[in-house]
């Protein structure tokens, strides 16, 4: 889409005006990435939940019924990135590009990162519970 700087600014102003009080504190523009498509327009995206520097769960992150077998490749560079993030709980979203490489498309505070839309609540809380219990981050005594 070709757009002049003036038209772009008009669109931004309209967007901000229409959001009204829902507009928070700035806009984020993301680079367009050529994602690999399967069975039409389905992308291979994953949400990885990280707790205390360890990826505890990887889930397909889309609304599609198409199922990707296995887990995404947890590439060496991803481990280094996980270790470099100074947060106890966060998510990393990966997507497969057309060239079959994976790229981080978003990282989020785990408190506001939603669960993928595949009825995975029990699996998520099981993994979280097991990780907390096994590493003594949580005292489950009810005394």
What pLDDT is stored for residue 66 in this prediction? 53
Task: Note the pTM of the prediction, 2 decimals.
Answer: 0.70
Strands 89-96 and 54-60, bridge-based pairing = unpaired
Say what the pLDDT of residue 51 is. 86
Task: Give the 3-state secondary structure of residue 92.
Answer: strand
* Domains contained in the chain, number: 1
Output the domain CATH number for residue 80.
3.30.470
Phi, then psi, of 11 in degrees rounded to 5? -65, -40
Burial of 58-81, coded b for 16+ CB within 10 Å and e otherwise, reads bbbbbebeeeeeeebeeeeebeee
Q: Is residue 130 part of a domain?
A: yes
Q: Could you tell me if residue 35 is inside a domain?
A: yes
Q: Chain-centre distance of CA 14, in angstroms?
A: 28
Does the pLDDT value for residue 113 go beyond 50?
A: yes
Q: What is the pLDDT of residues 10-68, one digit of tens each?
A: 998 998 888 877 777 777 778 889 998 887 788 888 888 888 888 888 877 766 555 55
Enclosing domain of residue 120: 30-134
């Amino acid at each position: 889409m070709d757009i002049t700087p003036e038209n772009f600014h008009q669109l931004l102003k309209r967007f901000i005006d229409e959001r009204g009080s829902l507009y928070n504190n700035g806009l984020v523009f993301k680079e367009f990435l050529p994602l690999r498509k399967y069975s039409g327009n389905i992308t291979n995206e994953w949400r990885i939940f990280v707790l205390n520097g360890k990826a505890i769960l990887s889930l397909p992150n889309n609304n599609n019924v198409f199922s990707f077998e296995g887990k995404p490749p947890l590439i060496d560079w991803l481990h280094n990135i996980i270790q470099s993030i100074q947060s106890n709980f966060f998510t990393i979203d990966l997507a497969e590009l057309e060239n079959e490489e994976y790229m981080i498309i978003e990282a989020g505070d785990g408190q506001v990162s939603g669960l993928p839309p595949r009825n995975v609540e029990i699996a998520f809380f099981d993994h979280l519970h097991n990780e907390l219990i096994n590493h003594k981050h949580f005292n489950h005594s009810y005394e």
